[in-house]
Amino acid sequence: MNVGSTTGRILAAYVSDGTGPINSCIVAYAICAVLIVVVMLAVKSMAGYIALAVIYGMLCSSYVSITPLVLTNIFGPQVVTTAAGIVNMWCSVGVLIGNPSQGAIYQRFDRPVDSFKAITFWGFTGLVLSVLSYTFLKWLVIRDTHQHIWSIL
């Protein structure tokens, strides 16, 4: 996953130049959501899981490399550090809630049947909520302009 993350951070910056930072996050997270469901439910080999880790690492690293650009575009360079701190505070809430709840879901639903279906759908749901949140953010940013939802911003 780290190899993919390193490559993804560099590539995400170039992709966001052409597509816009919010748009590239929306597309990256949508692809991650589909990958999680397809690979975790269909693939049963270690090679498939390794491929998922590398590709997922490349796509989800857009959060690390593009979030400062999104915050700068929305709030301005003067307050980007404050905005980044607030974003990271809310992410910490997700981490504090997400990991124990995922463990509880695994213990309750997946461990007795020796599968990963319930936590796969839990991860898929989280990524879909991310896509919806970024889409709502994009709508908030462009709602008073004459730009369309996929415009570069």
Q: How far is CA 88 from CA 49, 53, 69, 75, in A?
A: 28, 23, 15, 16
23-77 pLDDT per residue, tens: 898 999 999 999 999 988 888 889 988 988 899 889 888 888 898 888 898 888 9
Neighbours of 12 (CB within 10 A): 24
Predicted confidence band at 153 (pLDDT cuts at 50, 70, 90)? low
Average pLDDT rounded to a whole number, residues 78-85: 92
Q: Which pLDDT band, with edges at 50, 70 and 90, does 133 fall under? A: very high
Q: CA-CA distances (angstroms) from residue 130 to 15, 114, 138?
A: 19, 28, 12
pLDDT tier at 4 (50, 70, 90 boundaries)?
A: confident
Q: Where are the domains of the chain?
A: 2-142
Residues 27 and 134 sit within 8 Å (Cβ to Cβ): no
d(CA 144, CA 118): 40
Instruction: Output 149 or 60, whichever has higher pLDDT.
Output: 60
C-alpha 106/C-alpha 113 separation (Å) is 10
Tell me which amino acid residue 123 is: G
Cβ-proximal residues to 100 (8 Å cutoff; 6+ apart), any chain = none
Rounded distance between C-alpha atoms, residue 18 and residue 27, angstroms? 13
Q: What percent of the chain is predicted at pLDDT more than 90?
A: 35
- Which class in CATH covers the domain with range 2-142? mainly alpha
Q: What is the pLDDT of residue 94?
A: 85
Mean pLDDT value across the chain: 88
* Nearest alpha-carbon partner for 60 in 117, 112, 134, 118: 134
Asked if the model's pLDDT at residue 6 lies above 90, the reply is no
pLDDT of residue 142: 84
CA 113 to chain centre: 29
* pLDDT in the model for residue 135: 92
84, 102, 146 from 99: Cα distances, Å: 22, 5, 41
